[in-house]
Amino acid sequence: MVKSGILAAVAIIGLAATAQAGEVKHGNDAKEVSVPFANRNITDFRADGRDAVYLQVNGFDWYHAQLMGPCTDLPFAERIGVETRGTDTLDRYATLIVRGQRCQLSSLVKGAPPKKAKKR
């Protein structure tokens, strides 16, 4: 009994330390990120189907935002809005506004869209 109690305590402490450090890992070992002042500086976006989108901030860095569910019009959108709920930080708690539809993010990690194949 004592061993299992100690192991549980160690596991809880490890989870708490991970959460405080903001190191939530995904299947591809990417870490959750938050980008200050990004909601006003998104310079490009590319739909990744209906469930995710690539967002470019300040013309340089790309981020991959996974959505909680399908955002029907995302592949056809010419522009999007971002709602960050009163802060200037883009993170997994933000919401995309696509043709009037609210699309809640579930994760945000650093990552660029795949390169397009050159036409021959």
pLDDT (tens digit per residue) in 20-41: 333 344 455 689 999 998 767 8
| pLDDT for res 14 | 35
Dihedral angle at the C-alpha atoms of 76, 79, 93, 58, nearest 10 degrees? 130
45 touches 57 (CB < 8 A): no
The helix or strand, by DSSP H or E, that contains position 82, with its residue range, turns out to be: strand 81-83
- Bridge partners (DSSP) of residue 10 are none
* Statement: residue 43 has pLDDT above 60: yes
- Most confident of the following: 31-40, 95-104, 110-119: 95-104
| pLDDT for res 24 | 41
**Confidence band for 115, pLDDT divided at 50, 70 and 90:** confident
Note the pTM of the prediction, 2 decimals.
0.72
- Measuring CA to CA, which residue among 22, 41, 44 is closest to residue 33? 22
Q: What percent of the chain has pLDDT over 90?
A: 60
Q: Tens digits of per-residue pLDDT, 64-85? A: 999 999 999 999 999 999 998 8
* Statement: residue 19 has pLDDT above 50: no
57 touches 81 (CB < 8 A): no
Give pairs for 3-10: CB < 8 Å, separation 24+. Answer: none
